[in-house]
Structure 1
Amino acid sequence: MLMKKKYAICGVSGRALGMFAKPILTTYAPRSELVALLDTDPERFELFRTRFPEHPAIAVYGEEEFERMIEETKPDVVIVAGRDDTHARYIVAALEHDLDVITEKPMVTTGADARRVLEAERASKGSVTVTFNYRYAPVHDKIKEMVWEGRLGRITSVDLNWYLDTYHGASYFKRWNRRRELSGGLSIHKSTHHFDLVGWWINQRPVEAFAYGALHYYGSEGELNPERVDGRHCGTCTAASRCAYYTRWNARHVKDDHLGLLAAEGRQFPYTGYRPDQCIFDSEIDIEDTYAAAIRYNGGALLSYSVNFSLPYEGYRLAINGTKGRLETTEYHAPSRTPFPTPVQTIDYFPLFGSKETIHVVHREGGHGGGDPLLLNDLFLGEDRSRPYSVLSGAADGAYSVATGEAVWRSAKEGKPVAIQDVLAGWKGELTKA
């Protein structure tokens, strides 16, 4: 008889419900069992029961009841999916119980907490998996394969420019992400995805970062702020008709990952003391919305990176250069929100001496470019060992991506290069998985 693995979820977020609870209770139910939920807000337990009425008896615990949860439900794995600043606490506590951990990205919000996790994992029988689902997107996997096969030779430089549109980009400034103490800033909350991808593609570890950053679009000084008043919410704002961000998207039926969830449940803001429609022009916003960075890697590669959180369309442009050639690709994400026709993403390969080759990749259904279903298979069925390289991310991957993000915002504030090892307080762990 197949033994079921028992899971407890810390942080009953929308992501926790859709990405983890639902698959455990449905697709992977023959091998998995959800035994506990932990959160600061009892209303989130009620939201879980509304979405999964056939599972009313799942044990629930408050934020201070982690030890009792472990003792009473005896999970094999703890899934950490709450607000970013809560991750370190539950990851370390689970490792101290020799349990495995699955955590949403970013693994933590500071280099100091990354170091704590690395040390806790080293002393534990448990291990940490960070759900970097972008690795699993078919185009990203193909890029990894091309680099791994040596088609580019030794990697010398990478150019990555990431764009978020006025819908997605603004959403971070409506929510708790807009405060650095809660999210680490967007060079951590969002850019860890990008830094992890680059490190995984080229199999090199970041050494140093130099960056510039600014708050151009949002906050009280934003040029499109209709009036300087704090504490507004989109749902009740009297200036909404004069807000370009609001009027651009309010007239269209676009499902937001937070507001759409609430609408689907037929309930208005079913969270205690939290609304995901805070004004993007509030003066409490203390993070940047634009970065340009140069990052040096231990294998000699150089990354030129930029990200912008308020653009007319969403996607990225990537080029990877090596001693034997170059590849380029452009992605237009969320075509339904893009005000012009967008092509299907391909990869252009330019050998150093030879003819250009355009590579068409088989695209898949599912979130994050078809990556989510493949990630879930690896999480709940075990990693696919037929691949010649690992795709699942570990604690070292999570730590280096967070440390790079912190080095970026610190460099932007301090005006000088920041060493990754300084952010990690001299940690000398393993290189990111190949």
Structure 2
Amino acid sequence: MKKKYAICGVSGRALGMFAKPILTTYARRCELVAMLDCDPARFDLYRSRFPEHTAVGTYGEEEFGKMIDETKPDVVIVAGRDDTHARYIVAALERDLDVITEKPMVTTGEDARRVLDAERVSKGTVTVTFNYRYAPIHTKIKEMVWEGKLGRITSVDLNWYLDTYHGSSYFKRWNRRREMSGGLSIHKSTHHFDLVNWWIGQKPVEAFAYGDLHYYGAEGELNPGKEDGRHCGTCLSASRCAYHSRWNASHVPDDHLGLLESGGPRFPYTGYRPDRCIFDEEIDIEDTYAATVKYSGGALLSYSVNFSLPYEGYRLAINGTKGRLETIEYHAPSRTPFPTPIQTIDYFPLFGSKETIHVVHREGGHGGGDPLLLNDLFLGENRERPFPILSGAVDGAYSVATGEAVWRSVKERRPVAIAEVLGGWRESELIER
């Protein structure tokens, strides 16, 4: 019998990452029975992309209960705007349904606590789609730590870079408002915090951070003129905007939603355009962070992220009592203005010679991780792995709480405890289910 899925939030991610695989690759075992969204135009976009699958039921944002009663899904997929996640996750758990949610699981520690409490008494479970875990290079790093090649982990250095194309996209869209995204230390950095938590097998305890808005917003140094309400597609100052000029040449179309590739209209949604000016006054989040996180096993993380750099990628070092590993990745080589090497891992035993490890690279989004994640989601997790890889509600909560602790530390100029963000919740509160 096919497992039935309902999608809450018909985003570009929902259509590409979930609806399409359910309707194609996994159609023999999966069925899409319903979609819910606040904007009927999103259903039209779905129908234009999948005209042979137009019988799927559609529901408004207040019709969750009706959707469940009429279509009886086994799993609810939550993939809408970040601040809507908690509402539908908790509602699904209250009906004992399983949930698959996009990252971040929620946008606040308070909502993370709500999800944890709801899951504790539900027959349903939450899976958070942290696809970066599945990139072969990241899985290899986890394997090396798990095998003990580094010994007990003592410190991690992670510096993440987003280029002027990708980084600026968050400031054109709804992500630029903290009330909708939690800020980028949650919306984006939860990916990074989850990777570190998973790699080292320790829980975050406390964070201290600095951060600021350096590139975007009304005071951005490259703002061609202080004026609110502009859109890239109609801006009279576009020719004087370095960001627009760099990425709007005919060979590099600005298409973060994948609309040009799909042949659809450029802005198919009601009342929403993803090309708002990156220099608007309303932007209330940071674009640069430097943070330190303390972990339950004694490890320390030194983390930084910058959302406006000449190239994209990251630099990672993990140190332990038996050795160190280093790796550098350059994302989006087609946008990088210099040749980029294939990513490898350099392993330095504490007493011995360096070893360079080459990892088989895979096709697919997020470093080849997306196809592997989808297999686990829709076919069942590969039990032959020596360590768990699918993320649950606790993983989602720790990553969100770390992100909130970071931006609260920036604002309040003090260390912020993870337990404080989660309302005093601790993993010991979990009961056997």
TM-score by length of 2: 0.98
SS in 2 for 1:158: strand
Q: Is the 8 A contact 1:396 1:431 kept in 2?
A: no
Q: State the 1:266 CA deviation.
A: 3.1
Alignment-mate amino acid for residue 17 of structure 1: L
SS in 2 for 1:378: helix
**Which residue number in structure 2 is paired with residue 56 of structure 1?**
54
Match status 1:222 vs 2:220: yes
**Which residue number in structure 1 is paired with residue 383 of structure 2?**
385
Q: Is the 8 A contact 1:396 1:430 kept in 2?
A: no
**Which residue number in structure 1 is paired with residue 185 of structure 2?**
187
Structure-1 separation of matches of 2:116 and 2:79: 19
Q: Is the 8 A contact 2:247 2:254 kept in 1?
A: no
Q: State the 1:56 CA deviation.
A: 1.2
Match of 2:111 among 96, 110, 113: 113
Q: Is the 8 A contact 1:328 1:348 kept in 2?
A: yes
Match of 2:336 among 335, 338, 343: 338
After TM superposition, the structure 1 = structure 2 runs for residues 63-78 of structure 1, keeping only pairs within 5 Å, are 63-78=61-76
Structure-1 separation of matches of 2:254 and 2:57: 29
**Which residue number in structure 2 is paired with residue 422 of structure 1?**
420
**Which residue number in structure 2 is paired with residue 350 of structure 1?**
348
Q: Is the 8 A contact 2:74 2:98 kept in 1?
A: yes
Structure-2 separation of matches of 1:41 and 1:337: 33
Match status 1:319 vs 2:304: no
- Structure 2 stretches of 5 or more lacking a match? none
After TM superposition, the structure 1 stretch with the greater mean CA deviation from structure 2, 249-258 or 85-94, is 249-258
Structure-2 separation of matches of 1:378 and 1:56: 27
**Which residue number in structure 2 is paired with residue 265 of structure 1?**
263
Per-residue CA shift, 1:353-377, capped at 9, x if unaligned? 0000000000000000000000000
SS in 1 for 2:427: coil
Per-residue CA shift, 1:70-101, capped at 9, x if unaligned? 00000000000000000000000000000000
After TM superposition, the structure 1 = structure 2 runs for residues 67-146 of structure 1, keeping only pairs within 5 Å, are 67-146=65-144
Q: Is the 8 A contact 2:12 2:258 kept in 1?
A: no
SS in 2 for 1:54: helix
Matched residue count: 430
**Which residue number in structure 1 is paired with residue 393 of structure 2?**
395
Q: State the 1:341 CA deviation.
A: 0.3
Per-residue CA shift, 1:215-236, capped at 9, x if unaligned? 0000000000000000000000
Match status 1:328 vs 2:326: yes
Q: State the 1:261 CA deviation.
A: 1.9
Q: Is the 8 A contact 1:38 1:60 kept in 2?
A: yes
Structure-1 separation of matches of 2:179 and 2:43: 25
Structure-2 separation of matches of 1:76 and 1:253: 43
Q: State the 1:268 CA deviation.
A: 2.7
Alignment-mate amino acid for residue 280 of structure 2: D
**Which residue number in structure 2 is paired with residue 149 of structure 1?**
147
SS in 1 for 2:67: helix
TM-score by length of 1: 0.98
Identity among equivalent pairs (%) = 84
Match of 1:309 among 280, 295, 307: 307
Structure-1 separation of matches of 2:105 and 2:357: 33
Per-residue CA shift, 1:342-400, capped at 9, x if unaligned? 00000000000000000000000000000000000000000000000011000000000
| 1:418 to 1:103, Cα distance in 2 relative to 1, 3 A | same
Structure-2 separation of matches of 1:322 and 1:405: 25
**Which residue number in structure 1 is paired with residue 281 of structure 2?**
283
SS in 2 for 1:410: helix
Q: Is the 8 A contact 2:145 2:199 kept in 1?
A: yes
**Which residue number in structure 2 is paired with residue 372 of structure 1?**
370
Alignment-mate amino acid for residue 422 of structure 1: E
Structure-1 separation of matches of 2:300 and 2:123: 36
Q: Is the 8 A contact 1:80 1:102 kept in 2?
A: yes
Q: State the 1:256 CA deviation.
A: 5.0
Q: Is the 8 A contact 1:78 1:100 kept in 2?
A: yes
Per-residue CA shift, 1:96-132, capped at 9, x if unaligned? 0000000000000000000000000001000000000
**Which residue number in structure 2 is paired with residue 237 of structure 1?**
235
| 1:168 to 1:430, Cα distance in 2 relative to 1, 3 A | farther
Per-residue CA shift, 1:194-235, capped at 9, x if unaligned? 000000000000000000000000000000000000000000
SS in 1 for 2:51: coil
SS in 1 for 2:149: coil
SS in 2 for 1:174: coil
- Structure 1 stretches of 5 or more lacking a match? none
| 1:417 to 1:27, Cα distance in 2 relative to 1, 3 A | same
| 1:185 to 1:12, Cα distance in 2 relative to 1, 3 A | same
Alignment-mate amino acid for residue 229 of structure 2: G
Q: State the 1:430 CA deviation.
A: 5.9
Q: State the 1:264 CA deviation.
A: 2.6
Q: State the 1:258 CA deviation.
A: 3.2
Q: State the 1:296 CA deviation.
A: 0.1
